[in-house]
Amino acid sequence: MNILSPSLLSIDFNHIERNAKVLDEAGVKWFHLDVMDGTFVRNISFGPPVIKCIRKVTDSFFDVHLMINEPIRYIDAFADAGADMLTVHYEACKDLQETIDAVKAAGMKVGIAVNPETPVHWLEYYINQVDMVLIMSVNPGFGGQKFMPIALTKLQEVKALAEERNPELLIEVDGGITVDNVQDVLDAGANVVVAGSAVFKGDKKANIAAFMEKLNA
Ligand SMILES: O=C(CO)[C@@H](O)[C@H](O)COP(=O)(O)O
Ligand SMILES: [Fe+2]
């Protein structure tokens, strides 16, 4: 069973409750929350207080993508805000092991995210300790960018490693995913698909239904 995790970066925050309800009613079970600090990435988005507000309007699983330096500093704040899973960037953690352990100790699931230019061989050391690996298919920082095909090779590599070391691993892909290229990422090994613009541009319900059809085929 594959999962759709719509990126709320593209949601209309003026009507967050109504929009969250549309997603819930369309059968969405995960919300992807992109946290950006203006340092690890150029953009600034939102942090724990906003996540806490969204938590009040939905029971969805909160898949929190932390594009921030040294996320270990904020783990308790995100736990308090209602995050279910924290995904930290390999490139943003001085001590990845310590960060993974701290997320688990705070009672959340944990993921590791990898930028497009970062190789994935080192994952061998962590793959059986985490719930999810997130392969970025754009350079992190902004929604609405074009999918980078390098992600397909990386997904295949992670999938092969997961089959050997952690068959339950969630493999998420994030950036530039549309109804037209989603089959390619599923075939390459992804089982969690993030989509921002392709969900929120135009008719949300119809977009979600089109994704669901491919994800559940
Ligand atoms: O993490 C990021 C961007 O850094 C993503 O989650 C995007 O926000 C997804 O948006 P689209 O590329 O689907 O528009
Ligand atoms: Fe993201």
3-215 belongs to which CATH class?
A: alpha beta
CB 166 within 8 A of CB 128: yes
CA 83–ligand 2 middle distance (angstroms): 14
Average model confidence (pLDDT) for the chain?
97
> 189 a known binding residue?
no
ipTM of the complex: 0.98
Q: Cα(136)–Cα(164) distance, rounded to whole angstroms? A: 22
Mean pLDDT confidence for 183-190 = 98
- Exposure on the CB side of residue 112, measured as CA atoms within 13 A: 26
Contacts of 194 (CB under 8 A, 6+ apart): 5, 6, 7, 32, 65, 172, 173, 174, 175, 177
> 32 a known binding residue?
yes
Is the minimum distance from the CB of 6 to ligand 1 under 6 angstroms? no
Catalytic residue among 174, 180, 187, 203: 174
- Convert the pLDDT of each residue in 101-151 to its tens digit: 999 999 999 999 999 999 999 999 999 999 999 999 999 999 999 999 999
Q: Which of 173, 168, 199, 196 is nearest to 186 (CA)?
A: 173
- pTM, two decimal places: 0.98
Catalytic residue among 12, 34, 37, 63: 34
The separation between CA 24 and the C-alpha centre of its own chain, rounded to angstroms, equals 18
- Convert the pLDDT of each residue in 81-96 to its tens digit: 999 999 999 999 999 9
